[in-house]
Structure 1
């Protein structure tokens, strides 16, 4: 074979190889193209499916919201009672939990304790976090009036439709002034709902609980309603922006069963169980244990409640004594305290504890008056060792509403009258406040 023939064959083979390579590259390009097209189509289909799923969820939310809204409207149309003064309308059990937890059967006990609180529509969002930490019944009285009923019912329906933890444990009660009854309540049927909404976005007007266009906020009436309709043997009456320590509900039930066994052996005097209250600078900080709290207390991000506003109102809790109690795994009584003026602790008590005097409204003496009567009625104050309460945010002087001092003076005069009445109501005691 000559050299010329060999070269010719090589050229033909190389040309054939190049054609094969080019063909393979074209095939790879086409395959990649079809792969990209197929992925794009799949992504589009997935996006369409996700959108349809989201639309279905929103339709489900709306359907559930509409059903709940109609139930609420039906309730406020047919259920009305008046308070003792004849000034307020009460709609008890406006909406009840979706399960019967009155006896809290998973504990196997008949004893139960409710977190009883009060609010306006502005602060209903606090129930979401509260219902996740307090795993027992919550009884909340909601103050409303005039067109505010729309925001209130809208918020209640949203919470029940979109937040199962709230729906599971919370009973809502409604209170409004007789002279300012609800208006346009059916407007809630025209509202849209999406469970992905931030709860705070439902607040229509940011304002203090004490600032209601000339209306008085009836703390003590609201507290009494929440207490009365709690359907539990014990209550923790507390503000809605205060969180209990985790597991307090179950721990207290276990404790009170042990305590009642001791009580049956000879201790018969009435008692309330004080829970030390704190306030946190970082409202998103989660304090799971007493050790966590003490650590944050040392860093300055947590401090005793009312530290700057009214330290004398809380100092008799003896926070330092509580901090240094021996560590034990069970909830128990750490120590007893004799009541001193003007101590106003938060506590768990049985439902026979005296009611709050409903004449006290707006700012000042609304809680201390009730604690005063508890003391005069012969109750003992026992501080629990491992339990605590956390207020969201530091209380700062000067951040209160403009009419605070005027309301304080008015209620101070009422408190003097109240103490005179206590002497007549409990003539055989030597206790006073």
Structure 2
């Protein structure tokens, strides 16, 4: 008589659970390999892009509203257009774009951002005399050595008028995509760039103005969006004609530890114990009106759609997608730390915008924001911008005299 074989149900469950864990770890590994993979163009490049870029800068004549900065749009642009403002020709749909801004030491974030976004990207870069050669070589290297960036990203430059002579004399150097970049640059924290004030809103406006997309997300370069966000918004919102002109579609924002995997889907985010709401340690009320708890508990859906609406209150400053044509520009008087984003959202509120939170979309910042990690002049700059904000609110009352909405500190 053959012996019977008994298999414990508990043992089967344990084996299956281990298999699931192994598959999840392998999936995360593959995602990290994909996002952090090296440049995909090899060898030395000697195209005319770099020469055209330098020629554009040499001929710079456009000033910002204060007359302090030169603005040079489209020094390099997607679709192989090079410099010269010859138009933007990307392989992806032009209906939605991401606009962002940076200094040279944060340009490396563009690699992951372009791969995660997979759509039109408009990037404004701030530089100055002693940083400019490194900044321009970094931009050229990103453009020449990465197909996604070459196809879908447009670069713009902002620098002080006082730096023009130095920058216009920079000599073109070819890029070798197989070699590491060896140039050195000053490693500055946040907005501490010597005497130069970081002009967030000049940079944002420039990046936003240069795209012809119908809808736009204005974000920071170190915020990664959930996977397929541009395509999902295109398919599920724009093509379905769900979107409205005066509606801001909010993306909940989170932050995670350094050197941690950045979740790409809502399912991954909800199970990641390293993730927490953005700015929770620095200014929790700046993001709390998103209602993270409600967002986490929204019903599961394969489509991107509006989960719920929220009321704007000061000092709420969400990141959002909105119709470019109805979006007020950022006030360029705000520089350095404080009120530079919330001033625009305050104007949107008074102008009659509604705010809706999307169900599956989000942004994640790599690294936790901590109060004592800000630059030395943060407090004084914040106080100065607070006074600018009070004046700004007074101006809005006159500009939107028929509005019943208020925007008080």
TM over 0.5: yes
| SS, match of residue 181 in structure 1 | helix
Unaligned runs of 5+ in 1: 1-56
What is the CA–CA distance in structure 1 between the aligned matches of 2:158 and 2:91, rounded to whole Å?
A: 31
Partner of 1:367: 341
CA contact 1:279–1:394 (8 Å) conserved in 2: yes
Partner of 2:35: none
Q: 1:420 aligns with which of 346, 371, 394?
A: 394
Q: 1:328 aligns with which of 301, 315, 336?
A: 301
Partner of 1:231: 212
Deviation at 1:184, TM superposition (A): 4.9
Q: Would you say how many aligned residue pairs link Structure 1 and Structure 2?
A: 361
Deviations 1:142-161 (A, max 9, x none): 11122322111111111111
What is the CA–CA distance in structure 1 between the aligned matches of 2:170 and 2:299, rounded to whole Å?
A: 56
Asked whether 1:204 is paired with 2:180, we answer no
Asked whether 1:91 is paired with 2:64, we answer no
Deviation at 1:86, TM superposition (A): 2.1
Deviation at 1:62, TM superposition (A): 4.3
What is the CA–CA distance in structure 2 between the aligned matches of 1:151 and 1:286, rounded to whole Å?
A: 28
| SS, match of residue 231 in structure 1 | coil
What is the CA–CA distance in structure 2 between the aligned matches of 1:318 and 1:102, rounded to whole Å?
A: 38
Deviation at 1:202, TM superposition (A): 4.9
What is the CA–CA distance in structure 2 between the aligned matches of 1:90 and 1:359, rounded to whole Å?
A: 16
Q: 2:358 aligns with which of 384, 388, 392?
A: 384
CA contact 2:124–2:203 (8 Å) conserved in 1: yes
CA contact 1:115–1:237 (8 Å) conserved in 2: yes
What is the CA–CA distance in structure 2 between the aligned matches of 1:238 and 1:88, rounded to whole Å?
A: 22
Deviations 1:266-301 (A, max 9, x none): xx77111000000111444031210100001xx2x0
Asked whether 1:61 is paired with 2:44, we answer yes
TM-score, normalised relative to structure 2: 0.83
Alignment of 1:7-406 (within 5 A): 60-64=43-47, 67-98=48-79, 112-181=95-164, 183-190=166-173, 193-198=175-180, 202=183, 204-258=185-239, 260=241, 262=242, 270-296=246-272, 299=273, 301-352=274-325, 353-406=327-380
Higher helix share: 1
What is the CA–CA distance in structure 1 between the aligned matches of 2:149 and 2:245, rounded to whole Å?
A: 36
Structure 1 range deviating more: 216-225 or 141-150: 141-150
CA contact 1:269–1:380 (8 Å) conserved in 2: no
CA contact 1:365–1:411 (8 Å) conserved in 2: yes
What is the alpha-carbon root mean square deviation over aligned residues? Answer: 2.2
Deviations 1:293-315 (A, max 9, x none): 0001xx2x000100101000000
Change (3 A) 1:152 1:125: same
| SS, match of residue 147 in structure 1 | helix
Deviation at 1:343, TM superposition (A): 0.4
Unaligned runs of 5+ in 2: 1-40, 82-86
What is the CA–CA distance in structure 1 between the aligned matches of 2:397 and 2:305, rounded to whole Å?
A: 33
Larger C-alpha radius of gyration, 1 or 2? 1
Deviation at 1:389, TM superposition (A): 0.2
What is the CA–CA distance in structure 2 between the aligned matches of 1:334 and 1:328, rounded to whole Å?
A: 10
Deviation at 1:256, TM superposition (A): 2.3
CA contact 1:113–1:253 (8 Å) conserved in 2: yes
What is the CA–CA distance in structure 1 between the aligned matches of 2:69 and 2:389, rounded to whole Å?
A: 22
